[in-house]
Amino acid sequence: EADIYQTPRYLVIGTGKKITLECSQTMGHDKMYWYQQDPGMELHLIHYSYGVNSTEKGDLSSESTVSRIRTEHFPLTLESARPSHTSQYLCASSITGVVKTQYFGPGTRLLVL
C-alpha cells in the first residue's frame, strides 16, 4: 500500500489569498491525481499527472494549477481563493499497469471565508 501524505489537513483562509496544498508519496508511483469532493457527492478529478513534467486537467473544471517537478511531489495551487473553492481536496497516486488501484492521502479540508 502507498504512503501518501497531504498537508495541511485543515485550512481556513480568507478570500483572495494564495494557497498551496501539498501532496507527497514515497512509493515511486508514476501517476498522481487531485480530486475534489463535496459532502454526499462523488469524487471529481480536477488534475492528473502521468509523470514528471506531465500534467493535465481532469473532468471537472478547476481554477487551481498543479506542477510535477519531482516524481514524489504533486502540489496544487490556488492563486486567489474564493468561497466557491471550499471543499475537500484529495490526492492519490498509482502505478502504471493492469491493476488500476489508486491510493489516497488523508485529504485537505479547505474553508474559504
Partner 1 sequence: DQQVKQNSPSLSVQEGRISILNCDYTNSMFDYFLWYKKYPAEGPTFLISISSIKDKNEDGRFTVFLNKSAKHLSLHIVPSQPGDSAVYFCAASLRRGKLIFGQGTTLQVKP
DSSP per residue over the chain, as a string? ---EEEE-SEEEE-TT--EEEEEEESS--SEEEEEEE-TTS--EEEEEEEETTEEEE-SS--S-EE--SBTTB--EEESS--GGG-EEEEEEEE-SSS----EE---EEEEE-
Interaction of residue 105 with partner 1, rule CB under 8 A: yes
Near partner 1 by CB under 8 A: residue from 66, 81, 90, 110: 90
- Taking the least distance from each CB to partner 1, the nearer of 79 and 89 is 89
C-alpha cell at 65: 494549477
| CB 94, min distance to partner 1, A | 6
Choices 12-20, 61-69, 72-80, 96-104 (CB under 8 A): range interacting with partner 1? 96-104
Query: Binding pattern to partner 1, positions 32-71, x when CB under 8 A?
Result: -x------xxxxxx--x-x-------xx------------
C-alpha cell at 82: 474564493
Name the site residues for partner 1 (rule: CB under 8 A). Answer: 1, 6, 31, 33, 40-45, 48, 50, 58-59, 88, 90-92, 94, 96, 98-107, 109
